[in-house]
Amino acid sequence: MKSFLVAVDFSNCSVNALMHAAHLAYFTNAQIEMIWVNNPAKTKVYVTSDNSTGLINEMNAQFMRLKEELQTKYFGLKVDYLIREGKVHKEISLQARESNSLMIVAGSHGSTGFERIWMGSNVYRIVSSAPCPVLTVRAGINLHDRVNTIILPIDSSIETREKVTITAEIARSTRARVIILKLYSTELIEIRDSVDIYAGQVADYLREEGVEVSMDEAHADNLTVTTIDYARKVDANLIVIMTEQEKKMANFLIGSFAQQMLDSAPVPVLSVRPQQP
């Protein structure tokens, strides 16, 4: 069965992301797997130590409360939880691999600088290291009745089409329409033609998958700002992006446009890492 791995630190932000995940999982016939990672450097307690009983009991109680709330709201939704120990982003990525998760879901405090709770300081690392797409939900984003409009920005990069498969699955399950937004960042005909070709291929694929598709275009000096402005204009409730990975010092880091999107998008953002050659 498909599963959504939801990072939970019990802050309002992460619980809000959990509610978005449960809503989406219910429509996509997936299960919810909540995860809390104990970082001994922060808690000063190891889960294997004699002093861990109080901590573990508290986490179990919190998880059971959330599980009951979700299963009451979404009848038939399968919900489980687990606790791991170590560095947050590494343990979440490892668990996603072990669970073969369809996606990871995480709350984000955006650009507020809030880092007291671990989710605030780890969301970029999770997106950068995840083996599957990551849905990030900024604090304060309200839950819609359903996903009904998905923005799929298409640019001239060859990787831009890699986000289409997961988009099709979500759109099919939720009966959402997908707006393919062609983003032109130059007047060069060759580049604009590439965008048009990629967008046409994406539209054909989505229609073959039974997804309602429309297409629009915009000139973009800043890909993120243009996409966000458009999402607001059409009242979208999901944006799907590539993370435009930048290889620096042997580590893959999310690019500036992707990070800006995670910080400022008014709707949840599904980030897909490019496949590595």
Which of 95-104, 125-134, 216-225, 236-245: highest mean pLDDT?
95-104
Distances (CA, A) of 276 to 168, 215, 252: 22, 29, 10
When pLDDT is cut at 50, 70 and 90, the band that residue 112 belongs to is very low
Cα 266 from Cα 277, distance rounded (Å)? 33
Instruction: List pLDDT tens digits, range 51-108.
Output: 788 888 888 999 999 999 999 999 999 999 999 999 999 999 999 999 999 999 999 8
Whole-number average pLDDT of the chain: 87
Cα 181 from Cα 178, distance rounded (Å)? 9
Largest CA distance in the chain: 67
The enclosing H or E element of 36 equals: strand 31-38
Q: Which residue has the higher pLDDT, 134 or 277?
A: 134
Complete domains list, the chain, with CATH: 3-138 (3.40.50.620), 149-272 (3.40.50.620)
Task: Identify the weakest region by mean pLDDT among 30-34, 75-79, 199-203, 223-227.
Answer: 223-227
pLDDT given for residue 216 in this prediction: 98
> Is residue 246 pLDDT above 80, yes or no?
no
Task: Identify the weakest region by mean pLDDT among 28-37, 196-205, 211-220, 240-249.
Answer: 240-249
pLDDT given for residue 244 in this prediction: 67
Q: What is the mean pLDDT of residues 176-203?
A: 94
Cα 130 from Cα 125, distance rounded (Å)? 8
> Is residue 248 pLDDT above 50, yes or no?
no
